[in-house]
Amino acid sequence: MFKITKKENLAPNIYLMDVEAPRIAKYALPGQFLIVRVDEEGERIPLTICDYDSEKGLVQIVFQVIGGDTYRMSSLEVGDSFADMVGPLGKPSDLTEMPLEELKKMKICFIAGGVGTAPVYCQLKWLKNQGVEVDCIQGARTKDIIILEKEMSEVSNLHICTDDGSYGIHGNVCVALQKLWDEGKRFDRVIAIGPMIMMKFVCQLTKQLGVETIVSMNPIMVDGTGMCGACRLMVGGKVKFACVDGPEFDGHQVDFAQAMQRMKLYATEEGRLYLRAKEGDTHHGGCGNCGN
């Protein structure tokens, strides 16, 4: 059993939890993910690691309520436990394998959107601890759903933007990146983690700017072990699986159209599971799709 030691509601339907998982915390690296199950009958939910503390034996996860089991996760409290937690899985960021002196010479800009802020924070904190200074653009639709702002500002040169202009730069992350570029900022690498559509348009812009770009394809993972086929994608014309070959890939080589179509194949089922979990006995099949 994996005990929850901390729970925080970061924004509507977005939660942070610290969980006792000593073996995962001991071996975790930025860019990797883990799989949790609420109970023995629960689905396997892959989540990127937000933070880890090997001395305390804790890992930190951030998740958004989008399906039945994430809804059940949100009902757990401090002192409750997950039935299973497996990890670390996936390949760590290649930044963790670079010589430190080479890493310090790089000009890196992270771009974080939505719950993608969590895995970005993990990488930013690791880089900060190595003495590497980086920029980060954090975007949201509006000020109220920005998460981890204080933590992000402590480990990067943070630039916040909102679609509605309620906070920071007025516009999306591409507007913010273009603004920094126009002001003379130059980057050797951009690392974008967030909604699929955000990463797609970031890659379109960075291709025009001639900047190497890495994206994390964790949004399309379901099983997390390469068995279900949900995270199958094309990268440079070759078949890859986000959970075992990634989750990070060269963004300019990813076929986003194909990846986004595969996401849609799973979204409807998750939506039904969410409604059934949320509405309980009052969910009588009135939607006409669930078969209840």
For the chain, the domains span 2-89, 94-216
Decide: residue 212, CB within 10 A, 0-12 exposed, 13-18 middle, 19+ buried. middle
pLDDT at 287: 31
78, 7 contact by CB (below 8 A): yes
Q: Using an 8 Å Cβ cutoff, are 24 and 85 in contact? A: yes
Amino acid identity, residue 175?
A: V
Q: How far apart are CA 42 and CA 69, in angstroms?
A: 7
What CA dihedral angle connects 106, 111, 116 and 117, to 10 degrees?
80
94-216 matches 2-89 in CATH topology: no
- Count, residues in the chain: 292
Per-residue pLDDT, 279: 39
> In this structure, what token pair is assigned to residue 281?
């006995």
Q: Which residues are 239's β-sheet partners? A: 234
Among 155, 152, 130, smallest CA distance to 140 is for 152
Specify the pLDDT at position 227.
57
Residue whose C-alpha is closest to residue 33's, from 258, 243, 283? 243
* Per-residue pLDDT, 219: 64
User: If you compute the radius of gyration of the chain from its CA atoms, what whole number of angstroms results?
Assistant: 19
Please give the pLDDT value at position 172: 96
Q: Which CATH number fits domain 94-216: 3.40.50.80, 3.40.190.10, 3.30.9.10, 3.40.630.20?
A: 3.40.50.80
Mind listing the pLDDT tens digit for each residue in 41-83? 888 888 889 999 999 999 999 999 987 888 999 999 999 999 9
The CATH number assigned to the domain with range 2-89 reads 2.40.30.10
Residue from 217, 213, 212, 175 nearest 194 by CA:
217
- Positions of the chain with pLDDT lower than 50, given as ranges: 266, 271-276, 278-279, 281-292
